[in-house]
Amino acid sequence: VAGCGTDKLSTGSIARTSGKPLESMSAGELHNATGALGQSYAKNPNDKRMATNYAAALQMDGDADQSLAVMRKLAIALPKDRDVLASYGKALAANGQFEAALDAVRRAQTPEYPDWKLVSAEAAILDQTGQKDDARQLYRKALDLKPNEPSVLSNLGMSYVLEGDLRTAETYMRSAAQQPNADSRVRQNLALVVGLQGRFDEAEKIASQELSPEQAQANVAYLRQMLAQQNAWSQLKDQDKPKSATN
Please tell me what DSSP assigns to residue 208: T
With CA atoms as reference, report the closest residue to 217 among 246, 186, 195: 195
Question: pTM of this prediction?
Answer: 0.76
Query: Looking at this protein, which amino acid is placed at residue 32?
Result: N
Give the pLDDT of residue 11.
40
Asked if 193 contacts 157 with a C-beta cutoff of 8 angstroms, the reply is yes
Q: Which amino acid is at 238?
A: D
CATH class of the domain at 148-230: mainly alpha
pLDDT value at residue 132 = 95
- Is 7:224 a contact under the CB 8 Å cutoff? no
Q: What is the pLDDT of residues 20-76, one digit of tens each?
A: 777 777 778 888 999 999 999 999 999 999 999 999 999 988 899 999 999 999 999
Whether 183 contacts 11, CB under 8 Å: yes
Choices 1.10.1200.10, 3.40.50.10710, 1.25.40.10, 3.20.20.100: CATH for 43-129: 1.25.40.10
For the segment 136-161, what is each residue's pLDDT rounded down to a tens digit?
999 999 999 999 999 999 999 999 99
pLDDT tens-digit readout, 101-140: 999 999 889 889 999 999 999 999 999 999 999 999 999 9
Are the beta carbons of 202 and 223 closer than 8 angstroms? no
Closest CA to 72 of 9, 135, 155: 9
CA dist 134 and 87 (Å) reads 20
pLDDT band at 16 (very low <50, low <70, confident <90, very high): very low
Q: What is residue 234's predicted lDDT score, i.e. its pLDDT? A: 56
Q: Which range has the worst mean pLDDT, 113-127, 190-204, 218-232?
A: 218-232
Distance from C-alpha of 25 to C-alpha of 33, rounded to nearest angstrom: 9
Encoded amino acid at 126, one letter: L
Same fold, 43-129 and 148-230: yes
* Domain extents in the chain: 43-129, 148-230
- Residue 11 sits at φ, ψ, to 5 deg, of -110, 145
Q: What is the pLDDT of residue 135?
A: 97
Cα–Cα distance measured from residue 229 to residue 198, given in angstroms and rounded to the nearest whole number: 13
Please tell me which residue, 243 or 208, carries the higher pLDDT value.
208
Band (pLDDT 50/70/90 cuts) for residue 212 is confident
Q: How far apart are the C-alpha atoms of 97 and 116, rounded to whole Å? A: 22
- Classify residue 75 by its DSSP letter: H
Between the alpha carbon of residue 157 and those of residues 178, 186, 192, 215, 226, the distances in Å are 14, 10, 11, 23, 20
Best-predicted range by mean pLDDT (86-100, 139-153, 207-221): 139-153
pLDDT value of position 213: 77
pLDDT at 1: 42
Q: Is 14 helix (H, G, I), strand (E, B) or coil?
A: strand
For residues 224 and 45, the model is more confident at: 45
pLDDT tens column, 160-170: 998 899 999 99
116-128 helix and 132-145 helix, angle to the nearest 10 degrees: 160
